[in-house]
Amino acid sequence: MTNSLCPNPRCRALRVGGHVCPRCGVIYAKAEARAVAQRQMAPSVDKPAGPQPPLPPAYPDPFPPPQAFPPPQNQGTFAPQDLDRFAPPPYYGPPASPQDDGPFAPPAAFPVSDEALFHDPGSEKALEDTLRLIAIPAALLGAWLLMHTSSGRSLGRIFFSMWVHELGHSVAAWFCGFHAVPLPWFTPVADNRSIINTAMLAAPLVYFGHRAWNAKSRPLIAAAGALLLLQLVCTFVLSIPSARAFFIFGGDAGCLVFGTALILTFFAPAESKLRRHHLRWGFLVIGAVSFMDVFEGWWAARHDSDRIAYGTHELAGLSDASKLTETFGWTESQMVRAYVVLGVVCLLVMAAVYARAVWKPEWLRSVRRALGKGA
């Protein structure tokens, strides 16, 4: 049987299935017979004596044996940089997966999205610097203007500051060892301390301190230690009447303290969820409205006692101001001074963190250059 890889003796094209060459149209059997007859009828030449080599085949061997190549004559030294001549050319095609073509697939390229293609880190940093500079002052100014309208104050208190106020009552009661549940417009507090409530608050504080210690963060370690010390004093040092006065005071105090904390979440690191999920914007609004709702009222109460919320509440009975003055014996000036001092301290903390977050050394250098040119 004729090998299909043997070429046609006439046109030298490789054979395919069938008996006729598709290239020249000759029949394979006739072409082979004609080739053999031509070799036999070739003119004879003087042949040397001795055994003669066999006649070459009618077609070349498609799989010739490997030939031995002579070694190179002039072998020189081979430097490592000569390998660059044999390096494959770089691949500039589309991204490909190695599973598509096996080991011969081109190297996979990193996908480039439109966001990464048009992303400018410099412009993003400039935008963040601008937001850090104007966001908190704008939020506080907007909240202050909102508090000077009756409808704005009512809406801000219903949706924002009321919840932070009740949370302040609850947290103050927890630090004193009392069970409390923050509810809308009212926070029920247990009559006696409970060791279970004390342990339930101390456990997360200890865990927070442990994490801060492992992270070697001195500010967080100091914060955890201060909170544990506050719980120790409120639980084991304060008497029950003093503790009750403390968590009554903690309502508006919570708006000042927690409002400041919510505002300062705007300076969260870039990798935190507060910034990646844009939670800091909501916390900024809640904190600014809660802080300004309380601070603006107590600041005005320094000269206008009508701004103090005396009276009764249909759910909680006496208001916080009435309880502090009538039940626990606080004077009006002591109460106003306590809230104003706490609010000013929160403002100073806010200003210090704000200045540290937005301060840029290049601003000082530009100001100095401008002053130098003016002189």
Residue 18: how many other CB atoms lie within 10 Å: 10
Query: Looking at the domain assignment, is residue 192 inside a domain?
Result: yes
Is the same domain home to 147 and 26? no
Residues 141 and 257 in one domain: yes
Q: Is 25 left (phi over 0), alpha (psi -120 to 50) or beta?
A: left
Give how many domains the chain has, as a whole number. Answer: 2
Q: Do 303 and 181 share a domain, yes or no? A: yes
In a domain, 186, yes or no: yes
Mean per-residue pLDDT over the chain, rounded: 82
Per the domain annotation, does 61 fall within a domain? no
Identify whether residues 316 and 172 lie together within a single domain. yes
Q: Where would I find the beta strands (DSSP E) of 105-195? A: 178-180, 189-193
Q: Which residue has the tokens 């050319």?
A: 89
pLDDT (tens digit, 9 = 90+) per residue, 22-56?
777 777 777 787 877 777 776 655 555 566 666 55
Q: For the whole model, what pTM was predicted?
A: 0.65
3-state secondary structure of 71: coil
Long-range contacts of 265-271 (CB under 8 A, 24+ apart): 266/132, 266/135, 266/136, 267/132, 267/353, 267/354, 267/357
Residue 62: what pLDDT? Answer: 58
Lowest mean pLDDT among 162-171, 208-217, 253-262: 208-217
The reply to whether 155 and 287 lie within a common domain is yes
Q: Is residue 112 part of a domain?
A: no
Lowest model confidence (mean pLDDT) among 101-105, 142-146, 195-199, 257-261: 101-105
Residue 288: pLDDT above 90?
yes
Give yes or no for a contact between 294 and 252, defined as CB atoms under 8 angstroms apart.
yes
Is residue 160 included in any domain, yes or no?
A: yes
Same-domain status, 146 and 5: no
Identity (one letter) of the amino acid at 279? L
Q: How confident is the model at residue 291 (pLDDT cuts 50, 70, 90)?
A: very high
Let me know if residue 245 belongs to a domain.
yes
pLDDT tens for residues 64-113? 556 555 555 555 555 555 555 655 666 555 555 545 555 455 555 445 45
Is there a single domain that holds both residue 21 and residue 140? no
Same domain, 11 and 147: no
Residue 159 is assigned to a structural domain of this protein = yes
The pLDDT-based confidence of 124 (bands split at 50, 70, 90) is: confident
Judge whether 212 lies within some domain: yes
Q: Which domain holds residue 193?
A: 131-358
User: Do residues 178 and 171 touch, judged by C-beta distance below 8 A?
Assistant: no
